[in-house]
Amino acid sequence: MFEMSRLRTLLLPVVVPALFFAESLFAETKTPSLGYTGAPTDHGGQNCSTCHTGNPLNDPSGSLKVTVSDYVPSVQQLIHIVVQNASASQWGFQITIREQSDETLSAGTFSIPTSMTTTEQVVCEDGTQYGSPGPCGSTIKGQFAEHLNAPRGASAAAYEFDVAWTPPEQEVGRLQVYVSAVAANADGTPHGDFVYTFKQTLSNVGACSLVGTPVFHNGFSSGSMVSIFGAAFQTSGRQRTAGPGDYVNGAYPTELGCVGVEVTGPGITQPVQIPIAFASPGQINAQMPEFTGVGPVTLTVLLNPGSPNGVGSAVATLNTLQAFAPAFFVFGTSMSIAAEQAGTGSLVADPAVVPGASPAKPGDIVSLFGTGFGDTSATFVAGQLATGIASLTNPITVTIGGATVPSSDVLYAGLSPGSINGLYQFNVRIPSNAPSGEVPVTISIGGSQTQAGATIPIQ
């Protein structure tokens, strides 16, 4: 059984018109306009050069140096921000740190060292130009640290700001640091100033601390997604879904949320870690590699891989390697197939199972999602994203409500474009005479069939 936590993520870039504030340097001295660090989800990635003009961005006559380290969850570090230009005598900055998988979300919390409280402040995004004073609550997406009463200093001297940052309590994948700083000429206008920007990616280097004894349960084939069930794969209430910030060279990671899965099998004599798409306290979704031939497969779940406190499950010897192991993804613990209205992203399910979803209607074209359906016309290494159309090379039979769907109404059968290549998509037209209710659906291939009892709602 597979849990559909999120089959795909659609990133819809919103271009926000540039906001040019016709205000004096004095107005920006107290509180700079919020969201001008260069973070792409804030004002389209603009920085302080939106207001401060007259010189090239990152002019070589000066510099911005930021000292920040890879993070250990919950362990505070002091970030040093040093801006310098021989023509400047007044200084400002703004910093934000975002989750790379969703850059609308700030990561961790800022605070201001006692020695800097007259020149720095924490500001929370609230939809206004200047934001609200920190500390920021847990529901605030955007959090910034910035200058207050832009300090003056001797010309040609570097000025240092220090910001305390406490990373998230738990590993959330890679983080992105954005800083924009101003070396101003203090002439009372925003003209003739120098603007510098900085960007750095941070990784989790804290020791993982998971405990537990994993157990495997699922039939599988080469390249298929598998679910591994057990306990204590993550701390209680936490789950991790791999996103763009976790990808490595355009592929899903082999470690996610301090969890790894290692296998051997036909053609793979040395243990290899396999791509992971999802990890929760009781379940891991991963993708098997491409095996050659038949024979036993061994599987080990690794908690805290590579750490001194690493824990490995007992080695499971699996004898369920099959040419085909077709199975639908389902919503949560239900038997409702993970489905959507084709091309729209609107989920097909009973709203009591998935809030906001709705049943399909006769004549609708729906996309059904599953795994274990074998070879396709284009091939990919396990964990890679399917970059385009990749149709199945073996024929299938689809039934809805016990009736076979004509092949002309199976509009696509293959890998789901843009998704991990173990995810298959079937675009199927619902028959005009389909019954109402929770209607059973099956897909057969090579003598194997999807799990019994899987349904979609039709009204």
What integer pLDDT is reported at residue 323 of this predicted model? 82
Q: Residues in the chain with pLDDT < 70?
A: 1-31, 138-139, 154-156, 207-219, 319-320
Strands (E), 416-454: 424-429, 437-445, 448-449
Among 291, 322, 353, residue at a domain's last position:
322
What integer pLDDT is reported at residue 212 of this predicted model? 57
Average pLDDT, whole number, for the chain? 87
Distance CA 417, CA 49 (A): 39
State the CATH number of the domain containing residue 431: 2.60.40
The CB-side HSE value for 244 (13 A sphere, CA atoms) comes to 11
Question: In this structure, are 370 and 259 located in the same domain?
Answer: no
Question: In this structure, are 105 and 216 located in the same domain?
Answer: no
Let me know: does 357 contact 350? Beta carbons within 8 Å: yes
In a domain, 11, yes or no: no
CB within 8 Å of 164: residues ≥ 6 apart: 76, 77, 78, 79, 110, 111, 112, 113
Cα dist. 340→196, 331, 367 in Å? 45, 11, 5
Smallest CA-to-CA distance from 424 within 362, 459, 380, 456 is with: 380
Let me know: does 39 contact 65? Beta carbons within 8 Å: no
Question: In this structure, are 338 and 312 located in the same domain?
Answer: no
What integer pLDDT is reported at residue 155 of this predicted model? 58
What integer pLDDT is reported at residue 19 of this predicted model? 31
- Going 431 to 434 to 438 to 439, the CA torsion angle's sign is negative
Number of structural domains, the chain?
3
In a domain, 361, yes or no: yes
What integer pLDDT is reported at residue 156 of this predicted model? 62
What integer pLDDT is reported at residue 44 of this predicted model? 93
Encoding tokens for residue 161? 């700001």
In a domain, 161, yes or no: yes
In a domain, 19, yes or no: no
Among 152, 174, 202, residue at a domain's last position:
202
In a domain, 156, yes or no: yes
Question: In this structure, are 248 and 341 located in the same domain?
Answer: no
The 10s digit of each residue's pLDDT in 347-378 is 999 999 999 999 999 999 999 999 999 999 99
In a domain, 9, yes or no: no
Question: In this structure, are 221 and 179 located in the same domain?
Answer: no
Question: In this structure, are 75 and 149 located in the same domain?
Answer: yes
Question: In this structure, are 313 and 391 located in the same domain?
Answer: no
What integer pLDDT is reported at residue 412 of this predicted model? 98
Let me know: does 328 contact 370? Beta carbons within 8 Å: yes
Q: What is the pTM of this model?
A: 0.66
Question: In this structure, are 185 and 257 located in the same domain?
Answer: no
Question: In this structure, are 289 and 365 located in the same domain?
Answer: no
DSSP state of 451: P
**How long is the chain?**
459
- If you search the block for the tokens 């729209």, which residue do you land on? 344
What integer pLDDT is reported at residue 12 of this predicted model? 28
Question: In this structure, are 225 and 337 located in the same domain?
Answer: no
What integer pLDDT is reported at residue 23 of this predicted model? 36
In a domain, 244, yes or no: yes
Question: In this structure, are 239 and 384 located in the same domain?
Answer: no
Question: In this structure, are 127 and 269 located in the same domain?
Answer: no
Cα dist. 180→77, 116, 372 in Å? 20, 18, 48
Peptide bond into 362 cis (omega under 30): no
In a domain, 2, yes or no: no
Among 186, 202, 218, residue at a domain's last position:
202
Domain extent at residue 378: 328-458
Smallest CA-to-CA distance from 394 within 443, 428, 455, 441 is with: 443
CB within 8 Å of 393: residues ≥ 6 apart: 374, 375, 376, 377
CB within 8 Å of 242: residues ≥ 6 apart: 101, 252, 253, 256, 276, 277, 278
State the CATH number of the domain containing residue 155: 2.60.40.10
Smallest CA-to-CA distance from 403 within 355, 367, 441, 365 is with: 441
